[in-house]
Amino acid sequence: MIRKIGIAVLCLLMLGGCRRYERIDGGATAPAPVVVGRNSDEAEAETEEKVELTTAAVPETETETEAPEPERIPVKVKGVYLSAYVAGTASMMDEIIQHIDETEVNAVVIDVKDDNGRITFAMDSPMVSEIGAVEAFIPDIDGLMKKLKDHGIYTIARVVAFRDPYLPEQKPELALKLADGSIYRDNKGLAWVNPYKQEAWDYLVEVGIEAHKAGFDEVQFDYIRFSTERGIGDVVYDEADTQGRSRTEIISQFVEYAYEKLAAEGVYVAADVFGAIIGGGVDSDNVGQSYGDMAASLDYICPMIYPSHYGDGNFGIDHPDTQPYDTILAALQGSKEDLRRYQAEGAHQAVVRPWLQDFTASYLEHYIEYGDEQVRQQIQAVYDAGYDEWLLWSAACRYHWDALLTPEEAEEEARQIAASRAAQPETEPETETEPAAEIESAAETPAGSGDAQAPAESGAETGGTQ
């Protein structure tokens, strides 16, 4: 009789267990198994036969509650970009870390998947291995991460997304293509990945997870957009891929997808976006970036608001590159207005962390030399716009360190800013700004990070990345 009852229990438990492991909500899975019922007082009171049946019948997960997501502790970032070549060269990193120790900078953005589509350190990733994507500019990632952590430096992995000249050559089925089936190439002859391809999404997430395993605190996606260069209008898309979704819809869906996957691993997620998309319009539609929609699915949104990348007359400024404070302030006032339209009570919205210019745009007709004063003016504009975090971009990784405060000076400045803000009225009047220049005009300038970077200020030290 006991055997018959045990078999019945076994069948019921097996049926219940099958339901427990079904995929739900578009692919969520049950938590990992855990043993139940073993060595309990009740189990010991049963016969040896029943104990054996129970042990065999009960999956090792029956009462385990879902494990909490890893804790993520936010950091107010003041950071600088570093190419993988610089990050992988010990003497250069020692000098940069010394500067960081002496200034308010507390974070670095390092190329993990660079502008050439190459992975910059050895990575245990199936697709990375399959396509041979590693070009190890950083030969000792463990040593580098330990050194950065020993100095209390927050680490951000830059992962270039859809402007990838390497992946489409290895997997042409993931490339943007023309009507004749050939691969679309931009003005530089470089291929782009099709953002509608799910396999491309999974590859980027895979790289992000491996970056986090290596020690990075945050994954920052760059070129998270469509190409806007000559010939892009000739690209054809398979309806099986697009399913009627627009460019902005698919980019926002990728951001949401990547965020869910990476946040579950305990990593922060950020994205670089064109400054010109703030406020929406044709620029937003062309690149596929919706500022407000993307901010709803990110920890940090990083508009690239380099003064050199705004055309004459933007924000009512004759030559934006020559007025860094005014340009940054106007751009970030536009950011606040745009995000305010998307705000809903209790809804999540990303922290705004802009990219600032630490290079001289000598290719412009109207430009100025950028030095300590111009860098500091941009930082001040960030604070005056009500934001607290910023990143500096120099393609050559040469920064005006004298423009930056010491840690002690920065703490005092933060107290003064907090006191000043507390004394202000609760609501601020809305400020109208001129629309930014269309992206098609900016597309003819050299690209980079972010995604709208100035040309490299020197050659070899950029390590092949732009």
User: What is the per-residue pLDDT across 153-173, written as a single tens digit (0 to 9) for each?
Assistant: 999 999 999 999 999 999 999
- Residue 220 pairs in a beta bridge with 158, 270
Q: Which domains does the chain have, with CATH numbers?
A: 2-57 (no CATH), 78-462 (3.20.20.80)
- Residue 268 pairs in a beta bridge with 218
Mean pLDDT of 138-143: 98
**Closest by alpha carbon to 96, among 397, 453, 302?**
397
| Residue, of 387 and 436, whose pLDDT is higher | 387
Least confident span in 38-42, 64-68, 150-154? 38-42
pLDDT band at residue 425 using 50, 70 and 90 as cut-offs = confident
Kindly tell me if the per-residue pLDDT of 451 is higher than 70: no
pLDDT band at residue 347 using 50, 70 and 90 as cut-offs = confident
Kindly tell me if the per-residue pLDDT of 68 is higher than 80: no
pLDDT band at residue 73 using 50, 70 and 90 as cut-offs = confident
| Residue, of 455 and 86, whose pLDDT is higher | 86
**Closest by alpha carbon to 270, among 217, 310, 206?**
217
The pLDDT tens digits for 282-337 are: 899 999 999 999 999 999 999 999 999 999 999 999 999 999 999 999 999 999 99
Kindly tell me if the per-residue pLDDT of 406 is higher than 80: yes
pLDDT band at residue 450 using 50, 70 and 90 as cut-offs = low
pLDDT band at residue 47 using 50, 70 and 90 as cut-offs = very low
- Check residue 237 and give left, alpha or beta (phi > 0: left; psi -120 to 50: alpha): beta
* Positive/negative CA dihedral, 171, 176, 182, 188: negative
Kindly tell me if the per-residue pLDDT of 17 is higher than 90: no
pLDDT band at residue 427 using 50, 70 and 90 as cut-offs = low
Residue 93, Cβ density class (10 Å: 0-12 exposed, 13-18 middle, ≥19 buried): buried
pLDDT at 13: 34
The pLDDT tens digits for 172-216 are: 999 999 999 999 999 999 999 999 999 999 999 999 999 999 999
pTM of the model: 0.80
d(CA 248, CA 223): 14
pLDDT band at residue 71 using 50, 70 and 90 as cut-offs = confident
pLDDT at 42: 38
pLDDT at 44: 37
Task: Give me the residue label for tokens 């946040």.
Answer: 263
How does the average pLDDT of the chain come out, rounded? 83
For the chain, the distance separating the N- and C-terminal CA atoms, rounded to the nearest angstrom, is 76
pLDDT at 64: 52
| Residue, of 6 and 412, whose pLDDT is higher | 412
